[in-house]
Amino acid sequence: MEGRIKSFLNVIALRRVVAAASFAVLMLVVGALNAHAVTTPAEGSFMYDAYDVVVNNLLKGPFGYVAAMFVFVTGIAMFFRQLIIPGVIAMVCTALIIKSDSIITSLGALIP
């Protein structure tokens, strides 16, 4: 009988934790601040040269292409070795490298 009571109390405690976590997530979503759109820096603005070198010349250039293909081939090799989760992570990283310019702009990685 005591085992059933302990089990019942554990279920109630778990439900309270889930309800509190759900409430916390709801408050974070409802209380979010305004989002601000960020664009790529204009030529001549502060940090444009750094953005141009890192994004346009490295990530969107030959270095980014070679890095993306290396990660892609590594992911395929992991799939052949039946390492599924690292292979999926490699595929996601390949997509991140290829779309890095739009990701940087959307996340606002820019110093105005």
pLDDT in tens, 54-71: 888 888 888 889 999 999
Helix (H) or strand (E) holding 90: helix 84-98
pLDDT tens for each residue of 29-39: 777 665 555 56
Give the C-alpha separation, 106 to 34, whole Å: 15
Containing structural domain, residue 91: 38-112
- Give yes or no: residues 59 and 8 share one domain: no
Give the C-alpha separation, 76 to 81, whole Å: 9
- Give yes or no: residues 104 and 63 share one domain: yes
pTM metric for this prediction:
0.55
Give the C-alpha separation, 37 to 11, whole Å: 45
> Residue 88's Cα: distance from chain center in Å?
14
- Give yes or no: residues 26 and 44 share one domain: no
